[in-house]
């Protein structure tokens, strides 16, 4: 079926299977920041925004995204680069495979709550699993990022 999508502000006509999930469509279009880590909605690697709110693209049918604003990390280039740099400064990137999904959650959190407490950060990001870092460096990196955005 033909679906009209708006990805990172760009209008796009794509041909998809009726049961195709947004993750598959996005990766097919070269948006590699979003990835599959599980089959059970547990890992958060596929996190993107739909109209500014985080969704798990692995389980969001592409046709339902028609007419909505889909945002991936690639569409937030400057802000994502700043957050990436803050995370890297704390060694929080590690393998990086889950990090881009976590970054989508962290950038969404800042829009909702520019001055979150540590507990609020952890609560908001709880659906983003990471096996490398032990999470503490995420917190340090996000704190650094929030301070830099503030400045």
Partner 1 sequence: MSEALKARQHVGKSYKKVDAATILSGRAAYTEDFVPPHALVIKVLRSPHPMAKILDINATAALKLPGVEAVFTYKDVPKTRFTLAGQSYPEPSAYDSLILDQYVRYVGDAVALIVAKDEATALQAMKVVRVTYDVMEPVLDMRTALDHPTVIHPEDDLHYNMPVGGDPKRNLACSYSRVVGDIEGELAKCDYVVEDTYFDQATLQTAMETFRTFCTLDQFGRLVCTSSTQIPFHVRRHIARALEIPATKVRVIKPRIGGGFGSKQTACTELYAAFVTWTLKKPAVLIYDRHEANNCSTSRHAREWKIRLGATKDGIIQVIDMVAISDAGAYGTHAFTTFTAGEHKSVPLYNKGKAVRYESNIVYTNHMAGGAFRGYGATEALWPLECAVTKLAKKMGVDEIELRLKNLINVGERSQVYAPDEVLESGLLKEAIAKAKTMARWDERPHSWQIDETHRGGLGVALAFQGSGVANVDTASVEIKLQDDGYYTLYTGSTDMGTGANTILMQMACEVLGCPIDHMTCYEADTDVVPFDPGSYASSTTYVTGTAAKLAAEDLRAKLLKTFAMYLEVAEEDIDFDGVTARTKDGQKSMTTQELAPKLMVSFGHEAQQLVGFATWGSHTSPPPFMVGIAEVSVDTETGQVTPLDYYAVVDCGTVVNPKLAKVQAEGGIVQGIGMALTEEINYSSTGRLETNNLMRYKIPTRLDMGTLHVDFVESHEPTGAFGVKSIGEVVINTSCPAIQGAILNACGAELTTLPMISEKVFQALMAKE
| Site residue total, partner 1 (CB under 8 A) | 56
Q: Which of the ranges 59-67, 94-102, 107-115, 143-151 carries the binding residues for partner 1, by CB under 8 A?
A: 94-102
For residue 136, report the phi and psi dihedrals to the nearest 5 degrees. Answer: -60, -40
Question: Do the beta carbons of residue 52 and residue 71 sit within 8 Å?
Answer: yes
| Measured distance between the N- and C-terminal CA atoms of the chain, rounded to whole angstroms | 47
Q: Which is nearer to partner 1, 62 or 72 (CB)?
A: 72
The minimum distance between CB 103 and partner 1, in angstroms, equals 7
- The Cα diameter of the chain in Å comes to 47
CB 36, CB 97: distance < 8 Å: no
Q: Is 106 in the site for partner 1 (CB under 8 A)?
A: no
Contact footprint for partner 1 (CB under 8 A): 17, 27, 31-40, 42-43, 45, 72-74, 77, 80-81, 83-85, 87-100, 103, 122-123, 125-139
């Amino acid at each position: 079926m033909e679906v009209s999508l708006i990805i990172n502000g760009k209008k796009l006509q794509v041909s998809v299977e009726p049961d195709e999930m947004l993750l598959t469509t996005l990766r097919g279009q070269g948006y590699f920041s979003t990835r599959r880590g599980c089959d059970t909605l547990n890992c958060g690697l596929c996190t993107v925004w739909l109209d500014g709110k985080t969704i798990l693209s692995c389980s969001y049918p592409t046709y339902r995204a028609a007419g909505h604003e889909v945002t991936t990390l690639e569409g937030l280039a400057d802000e994502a680069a700043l957050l990436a740099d803050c995370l890297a400064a704390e060694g929080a990137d590690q393998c990086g495979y889950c990090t881009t999904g976590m970054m989508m959650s962290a950038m969404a959190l800042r829009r909702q709550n520019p001055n979150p407490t540590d507990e609020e950060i952890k609560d908001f990001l709880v659906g983003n699993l990471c096996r490398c870092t032990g999470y503490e460096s995420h917190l340090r990196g996000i704190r650094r990022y929030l301070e830099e955005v503030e400045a």
